[in-house]
A and B are shown apart, each in its own frame.
Chain A
Amino acid sequence: MPDYTAPIRDMTFVIDELVGMDSISRLPGCEETTSDLVTQILEECGRFSSEVLAPLNQPGDREGSSFDNGKVTTPAGFKEAYLQFIQGGWNALQFPAEFGGQGLPRIVSTPVTEMCKSANMSFALCPLLTGGAIEALLLRGAEEIKRMFLPKMVEGAWTGTMNLTEPQAGSDLALIKTRAVPATDPEFGSHYRLFGQKIFITYGEHDLAENIIHLVLARTPEAPEGVKGISLFIVPKFIVNKDGSLGKRNDVQCASIEHKMGIHASPTAVMLFGEKDGAVGYLVGEENRGLEYMFIMMNAARFAVGLEGVAISERAYQRALAYAKERIQSRDVAGSDKSVPIIRHPDVRRMLMSMKAHTEAMRALQYVVAASMDIARLHPDRDERRRHQAFVDFMIPVVKGWNTETGIEMASIGIQVHGGMGFIEETGAAQYLRDARIATIYEGTTGIQANDLVGRKLAREGGVTAKVVIGTIRAVETELAQAGNSALTAIGESLGRGTSALAECAEWITGNYKADIRAVHAGAVPFLKLTGIVCGGWQMARAALVARKKLDAIRKGGDGDAAFYEAKIGTALFYADHVLSQAGGLRDVVVRGARGVMALAEEQF
């Protein structure tokens, strides 16, 4: 068996039966994206991921990217795999046909990206960053800039980066110091010269592609202080000539790469701009609006990182499951002649179910949000677009924060299933935990996501979207109660208690935001977790309803995989009992917990 097998059955279940592929195929421009085409794409990408990307994951972790005198070398096999990846057209999947892409919707790019991340998270970071840079240029790049850079970037022949962080400017980008000075050298057309240092630049330097296109946040000389004085620039490693060929080496250098806890194969670079006469850069959009542009892209970037949580959980689950089936240890607690595979032990079973249930819940939530992103972008009706955009905006911090936090937890359980062997690097289980650890940090820490959720997404709009979401979940509860099936009734009751906890907290937060903002922020992360748990439960409950209907149809002689649907209901029930049941405790933390958080004066620490 391969090391990683794409979970195509569950993916297509979510796409076809939970999201409903026809709701996407009806959108203008998606007419050809039919269910059978999507399945074929998933099959082929799944094959590529498990046969090419997955085998490089562990060796890539061991070897890591290396740095020597300004040059970065990725681990053995990465360059060949990257070439195969772009030749396969995978980099171009979701980008417009105008620049050489296939223009496929997010409901397709999301599972495809999940596979690449599961197979090899370090590898998948390179196209993730290129994608972010492409989105920025599509949104705000001048026509000339788009023509110059986009075709090569969409193809993947050139990769992209995001240069935001500086040593003194991490979560707070207002503190950026990198300077951009207007310059007049006729050789380069309308341009600026950039000077400064950027850190934590993922794939800032590497040997996978012939050119690297850096998107850089910097200040122009007359720029106002703070966030309103930051502009966005495009700085290519090699200047691109008018005819599209590569010209001079630009004044941007990689000074070193970091030694990290995980994602060893992904080079995290320190970048120096303008050590000589300044790095040639071109303005994207207008001056002083850089941060605003970054925020437009932020949804996509945070969504993509949230997907890493799903991907790493899936990989950790597959590894743990394989081990639990083959590892023979101790007799069955209820009695057996011989020692049994550890999957028969109830506690191991509980851990595996926890991994399976969380992974499926996160995947369902992530894909449902992906579909809403497609509808918000493409639906002909304005109200429909607005409705879905509001849902997306509300869910992004949840998908980012909850999926990545849960990803860490699941990778950790994966190690636990292995016992002592999980602590030994050889099994590979430990790598998933080390790799997962970054996902709650970059693109905004969980704390930042939670602040965004309680502030911008909840309190600022008076909880309007939260109420819509809660109303939708209530309707699912009614359906579950009316199904007349004991498992569905139990799921419905558990979901009901979770939703009530969520509603209570949302009301408390909107009511107290102005009066006691510290108290609200003290409970922001628990609230984010609560929202994730309930929304995940909402999707599992919907999945159980779909599965029940399908099983009834199969019983009446219809086609279908009864074992899959039965497992879906069992998994949803586990989720209701073991995960949704935490909602009440989290409610108490949110509404009461602040007094303890702020109880000590600073001097008492």
Chain B
Amino acid sequence: MKVLVPVKRVVDYNVKVRVKADGTGVETANVKMSMNPFDEIALEEAVRLKEAGKATEIIAVSCGVQASQETLRTALAIGADRAVLVQTDAELQPLAVAKLLCAVAKKENPTIVLMGKQAIDDDCNQTGQMFAALMGWAQGTFASKVIVDGDKVSVTREIDGGLETVSLKLPAAITVDLRLNEPRYVTLPNIMKAKKKPLEVLAPDALGVDITPRIATLKVEEPPKRKAGVKVPDAKTLVEKLKNEAKVIQ
């Protein structure tokens, strides 16, 4: 059973994100980048499936600039067997990524595609769903538990108000949530081995995918600065303020 894990290169979660001076986007030059943490959880799950003898091969895929190779090398060090980079400098929106992943999936024929529920840079939470729809596959989103059993996979989903367990027919697409697992630390021997694992680079054109953005970004700006708070003398004043000033209760 092959497992395909898409991984995205994003601004590191420790970095304080800044908007570019011209308001066209977020500053990424000379900023520490790393693997989207949700994708890391997806990859960890894939490695665990392989260690449990359920998966036979793990392929990490990334779509983006050449430097995404670094992210793929990390994926190889975590435990992917080989990697594919669909390389482009163009802006990629979720639909384009979903289409690129479809093209790769059709080449590779994975049984499961495991990815993060969203990327921490744009927080779109769309690629997994779009991918499943384009493939005509079952989808299990926001997974906090994944059990593969024969030609089915049971996915426990984190939904508003609780957990929902669905059984999907394979092949299927699964997007993962934070509580699925705790990713391991990369070991030194695996970093050394990763250097020798294959990393294939493809062009979007070669996959026959049109990646032209469908949405135009008009302007990006910083969220408004928080105003200083005030101390209220008692609960009564607080309730009053919440009712009349903040208007959050009635």
Contacts and interface: CB of A to CB of B under 8 A. Distances in A.
Contacts of A43: 34, 74
B164 interface: no
A32 B14 CA distance: 30
B14 A88 contact: no
Interface stretch (B115-123, B129-137, B186-194): B186-194
A88 B188 contact: yes
A92 B188 CA distance: 9
Contacts of B73: 36, 40
Contacts of B189: 89, 102
Nearest to A8: B32
A189 B144 CA distance: 57
Nearest to B69: A36
Interface residues of B, number: 17
Nearest to A108: B188
Interface in B57-85: 70, 73-74, 77
A44 interface: yes
Given A37-B195, A40-B74, A563-B30, A47 B188 contact: no
Contact of B195 (A32, A44, A561): A32
Interface of A: 1-2, 5, 32, 36-37, 40-41, 43-45, 47-48, 51-52, 84, 87-90, 92-93, 102, 560-561, 563-564
A99 B186 CA distance: 21
14 contacts: A1-B14, A2-B14, A40-B70, A40-B74, A40-B191, A44-B77, A44-B186, A44-B188, A44-B191, A48-B185, A87-B187, A89-B190, A93-B188, A102-B189
A458 B134 CA distance: 75
Interface string B158-198: 00000000000000000000000000011111111001000
Interface string B34-76: 1000000000000000000000000000000000001001100
A89 B70 contact: no
Interface string B73-107: 11001000000000000000000000000000000
Contacts of B192: 32, 37, 102
Nearest to A44: B186
Contacts of B195: 32, 37
Given A1-B14, A5-B14, A40 B188 contact: no
Contacts of A92: 188
Given A32-B192, A37-B192, 10 more contacts: A37-B195, A40-B74, A41-B188, A44-B191, A47-B185, A88-B188, A89-B187, A93-B188, A561-B29, A564-B30
A32 B77 CA distance: 16
Contacts of B186: 44, 47, 88
B185 A52 contact: yes
Nearest to B16: A1
